[in-house]
């Protein structure tokens, strides 16, 4: 997965991971993994802004190591200055087995496309 997810404030989107691989570079089958995506506040890293739970993940390409998950319009409606953007911290956690957990940390960027003059 890329190190950045960019969304437009208040708009829904679907995010898709790159193939998840093990330390040897082999693709990992994540079709039966338990997955979560959590975005936290920058000023209070222990405060979850939203969570995408396992049941929302599309694992149809999981045998190829690829996951998709939705970002709802409510979830993308985080604070961003008019004409600007805000950066939050996101974590994708993929639990393949008790001893095999993949975590990826990303910048979750919310862009406000409204003109500052309006």
**Residues 14-63: tens digit of each pLDDT:** 999 999 998 899 999 999 999 999 999 876 667 899 999 999 999 999 99
Domain boundaries, the chain: 4-13+34-56+69-111
Determine how β-strand 85-97 pairs with β-strand 34-40: antiparallel
**Residues 5-15: tens digit of each pLDDT:** 999 999 999 99
- Taking a C-beta distance cutoff of 8 angstroms, is the pair 31, 97 a contact? no
Q: Is residue 55 packed enough to be buried (19+ CB in 10 Å), middle (13-18) or exposed (0-12)?
A: exposed
CA 92 to chain centroid: 6
């Amino acid at each position: 997965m890329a190190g950045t997810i960019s969304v437009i404030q208040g708009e829904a989107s679907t995010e898709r991971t790159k193939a998840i691989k093990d330390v040897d570079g082999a693709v990992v089958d994540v079709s039966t993994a338990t997955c979560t995506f959590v975005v936290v506040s920058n000023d209070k890293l222990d405060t979850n802004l939203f969570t995408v739970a396992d049941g929302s993940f599309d694992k149809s390409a999981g045998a190829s190591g690829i996951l998709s998950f939705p970002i709802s319009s409510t979830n993308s409606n985080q604070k961003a200055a008019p004409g600007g953007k805000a950066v939050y911290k996101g974590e994708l956690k993929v639990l393949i087995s008790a001893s095999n957990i993949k975590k990826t940390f990303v910048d979750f960027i919310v862009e406000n496309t409204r003109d500052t003059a309006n």
